[in-house]
Structure 1
Amino acid sequence: MLKVGIITSLLALELGLYYTLGNFPSFIVQVAIIGYMFYWYYSERKADFNISDKLLIASTVVSLFSPLTVYLTNFFVSSTIKFTLIALNYILVIILFRLEGAKIDFSGKSKTFLVFVSYIFTPFAFLFAVIFPLTSLQNAILSGAYILPLTYMVLLSTFLPFPEKSKFYISISMFTVLLASGVSAYHLYVSSFPFDYPILRSLITTSRVCMLLGMLNRFDSSEKTFLT
């Protein structure tokens, strides 16, 4: 609980700096948040640090550079680099999930329809209903290419052979990733809206914390959570 409280406090500081001093000071706090998460994760896993742990850290480092694309003046170049970095983050997580034994197999899945609608239909419905009509063809295609690894990642996460506690945290992480992607796409292609930055940053931070907790608990079958 203390560690989550520290991250929440740093996030509040980041948001305060964003509205008072601008992008760059808030980005420094973003780096501090990621650094603290690294410290937390490594301190828990250092005795058994493996390739999956390295992939988790690498994926987070890659995505950390995406906010810097705001300083590029060409919109298409900026969005292309941003989406490429985020897609690379997803691909690294996909590799991580595959290494941990996740394999898509609907033969024994009791909630196939719910999984399909939540993780496949909804993202593509948003793409075709909201993004395609309101942006250029090249941006729509770019968004489609971004959605492919995203949907595969969240779908693959439902087939992880982890304890229920671990899968619970990872499911929250994947859900908030989907929400954050929708918020980001709406802001980028449709319109900004009040408090879009704090909403997006809160979703992204929640996703990272839950992913970290899910990975930390993947060998633990107890029912305790970080709140207990």
Structure 2
Amino acid sequence: MKKYRTSEVAQMMGIHPNTVRFYEKWGLITKPVREENGYRVFTDLHLYQIQVARLGFEIEILQNGLRKQIVDMIKTCAKCDFDGAIRQTEEYLIQLKKERASAEEAIEIVQDMLHGEVHENHLFLKRREVSRYLDISVDALRNWEMNGLMTIKRRQNGYRIYTDEDIRQLKIIRVLRCANYSLEAIRRMMQKLSENPEADIREILDTPGQNDDIISACDRLLLSLSKAEMNAGKIMALLKEMKKLYS
């Protein structure tokens, strides 16, 4: 069995030695054995685990617990529970595909808006029903309304009722938040579009460091999700190889 020092692992992986130590501290790799002189001893197993961690963290995707999913999977791999890590990666891939479908739907919604297409309202949902329907937390819905991103009508009994049009707007807001647009930029866009459906979305959304329109933002998110899916495929291959070598 080959053995490596921290500096050797860092050089082979193209990272700083401190990064190797942080991976150990955060439980992202199996705790290395120490020699009598205190030096850490790493093996090829650690090299595999670092590859998994780097692939998982290469794409920063924060929405809907994806970040937590990938961290949990890496920590499961560090415990050498390869079957568990494979299951978690499969679940992660399923969620990535759902997020990609949401981004693609948001592009279609915006294109409809730009072409002035009107849709009849068939849905009338309460906040908790919308939360389940769109997989958005009740707190997020409440926060978006409090920050003026949209105004939801109430029935006589005081309950908020979300219509089809509200749902379509929420889908856009959700994707823009995933693409890291600020609440203020999104609020400005929703307000301007409600006043003038022909408004220049590119100009409305103009925020520091981001001058693209909604469709471009969704495209960037789609690229990130596709890259994350590709990395997850590589992670799966590494996990299966580790299972074969170290189980």
**TM-score scaled to structure 1, two decimals?**
0.31
- Structure having the higher helix fraction is 1
**TM-score scaled to structure 2, two decimals?**
0.29
- Higher Cα Rg: structure 1 or 2? 2
